[in-house]
Amino acid sequence: MAGRRTWEADESIRWRLVLGCVGVVFGDIATSPLYALRVAFSGNNALSPTPDHVMGILSLVFWLLVIVVGLKYALLIMRADNKGEGGIMALLSLVLRMVGDRPALSKFILSIGLAGTALFFGDAVIAPTISVMSAMEGLQVLTPALKPLIVPVTVLILIVLFFLQHRGTAFISVLFSPIMVLWLLVIALLGVFNIAQTPAIINSLHPAYALDFLTEAKAQSLVVLGAVVLVVTGAEALYADMGHFGIQPIRIAWFFLAFPALTLNYLGQGALLLRVPGAASNPFYLLGPSWSVMPLLVLATLATIIASQAMISGAFSLAAQAIRFRFLPRLSVRHTSAGRLGQIYVPAVNRVLAFCVILLVLGFGSSSRLAAAYGIAVTGTMVVTTLLAFGLLGRIWRLNLWLTGILFTLFLLIDLGFLAANSTRILQGGWVSLALGGAVFVLLSTWIRGRGLLVSRLNEKAMPLEEFAANQGHESLPRVPGTAVYLTAGRFGAPLSLLQNILINKVLHQQVIVLTVVTRDEPWVRLEDRIKIRHFGGNIFRVRIYYGYNQEPDIPEALAYCQSQGLSVNMDDTSFFLSREHMVSTAREGMAQWRERLFIRMAMNAENAMVFWRIPPDRVVELGLMVEL
């Protein structure tokens, strides 16, 4: 896999990775110039495009790119990798591993991580909406008569995009990076064209302009900061996608291509506003001559589709990881490419994303109105990343305590400042992010708590496996030929499906395997470390199969490997016993009844365990169990 290659690999691979990451990693942040400055200088509560305001905003934009994207993510956060993998799940697993067996602290950290995961899903809904819509708003620049087409064309593009997800992106992904490289080069040239006409805009790179703006604008600056933060939307992708491309290719692509191109374009938009304040209505599309609007519209549409695809694919990947961590019920996860492991399609997630995205387009009608919702999702995710990374600063970055504290305080103050700025716009659309994130958080936390409650109820009736094996030595149950594999989520005790089978059929198979699949807090588990076997006598075994959160379980394949450890399993005479729990909500202590009912509904819609674990259908026996929650 590309994520496991190192920068010391072949020279051609190095530059292929650099080129490849441009289309995947930087799609979101590279399309921010379409709307970021427009939101700051137009619409309700926006600043007037006076020279002082323009210089101050441009200074803020530049230093935000330097500090948040360059320093925080590219140079520091990306060092907090989990065996080369990044993203919210990798960071959460690292921090949970560090706190060890402190339940209260682990629960608190898990809650923070779930909040970040929930906000990312909200981000995945809003990013395609605002990106494609902002590109389509170029139609109005082309001619005001086309303004009524913005919403229907946006909806049409997004419907087609989501409809094609089941086919995967392998057939067009080869075009992603060349298009994004062309996009970055074009927006850089547009910026240079305008800077040459108003070179004084270069002075805005001095941080004094940003400080003066924040000092003089005061309360109004808080509102504007909510728009300025849109320039770093997509910064999380540098960390989330590092496992696919490696640290060095992403850093090189950022510092030598994406960052210079974005800086030049923002400076160009600022130069245009100094000359023509009326261009604040859409400074991006007005950067070039009138004849350039149509080709720029086409290129922007392609770029925003690529950016949207990256966010959708990221949501699929995060959902698959959440399923393996048992944060979500089993969902159908399909591979769309035989040659590329990372290309997956999650139908349930795709349907929800498509519904929410279309609803946002129709409900908000413009990218400016949607900016408030996007800002809260972005800043909220950044706050979570900063909080989780704090515990790893000294250990991973090898910094002294004072420098660690200073960096953490700096990043957290910036993130909280932008979050506070966006919180002033909750009623203007920010509530959408809170509603989406809150709904996902409730689903995640309910499933985790419900699974814990279900396992606890099952363990109340379970028999220790040592006791079960000892009893079989004294009882005369007939043994029938073959192997019986009993799948259980519990790590201890004989599962109820085993006890129920004995109670009903009065027999025991010649070989009995109690099997548990465990997802470890690391992306990959080596084959030689994947199987742990314990023999209790009487041909009764406890087998644990360990996978990383980026690996897909395959039980028949894992059982075949057991032979190398002395346990022979012939699939032709093996039966798999799966328990299907029929749960009933009760007033017993555990969860609120409405959450119990939600958990039961989620469990009922989970994918069949036989399909999820890749077990041959003709070898499966399902046993029903009644469980009172």
| Residue 153 neighbours by CB under 8 Å, 6+ apart | 136, 139
98 neighbors 395 (Cβ within 8 angstroms): yes
Query: What one-character DSSP code corresponds to residue 75?
Result: I
Q: What is the SS3 assignment for 249-314?
A: HHHHHHHHHHHHHHHHHHHHHHHHHHHCHHHHHCCCCCCCCHHHHHHHHHHHHHHHHHHHHHHHHH
12 band by pLDDT with thresholds 50, 70 and 90: low
Query: How high is the mean pLDDT of the chain?
Result: 86
CA pair distance 539, 485, nearest whole angstrom: 12
Helix (H, G, I), strand (E, B) or coil at 554: coil
Which residue shows structure tokens 């320093």?
71
Helix (H, G, I), strand (E, B) or coil at 543: strand
Residue pLDDT, tens place only, 532-555: 999 888 889 999 999 988 888 889
6 band by pLDDT with thresholds 50, 70 and 90: very low
| 206: its two tokens | 């001095």
Element (H or E) spanning 132, and its range?
helix 103-136
Residue pLDDT, tens place only, 409-445: 888 898 998 888 888 788 888 889 899 999 999 999 9
**Long-range contacts from 350-356, C-beta under 8 angstroms, 24+ separation:** 350/162, 350/165, 350/166, 350/312, 350/316, 353/124, 353/125, 353/128, 353/162, 353/312, 353/315, 354/158, 354/159, 354/162, 356/125, 356/436
Provide DSSP, 139-207. Answer: HHHH-GGGGGGHHHHHHHHHHHHHHGGGG-STTTGGGHHHHHHHHHHHHHHHHHHHHHH-GGGGGGGSH
Distance of alpha carbon 451 from the chain centroid = 22
pLDDT of residue 167: 79
560 neighbors 494 (Cβ within 8 angstroms): no
Task: Specify the higher pLDDT residue, 629 or 294.
Answer: 294
Q: Is the pLDDT of residue 92 over 50?
A: yes
| Residue 16 neighbours by CB under 8 Å, 6+ apart | none
3 band by pLDDT with thresholds 50, 70 and 90: very low
pLDDT of residue 500: 84
Name residue 364's amino acid: F
429 neighbors 371 (Cβ within 8 angstroms): yes
> Does the pTM exceed 0.75?
yes
| Residue 292 neighbours by CB under 8 Å, 6+ apart | 190
| 429: its two tokens | 């659309």
pLDDT of residue 7: 43
Residue pLDDT, tens place only, 508-537: 899 999 999 998 888 888 888 899 999 888
Domains and CATH numbers, the chain: 16-449 (1.20.1740.10), 464-628 (no CATH)
Q: Is the pLDDT of residue 171 over 80?
A: no
Residue in 379, 433, 441, 435 with CA at minimum distance from that of residue 411? 379
Q: Is the pLDDT of residue 624 over 60?
A: yes
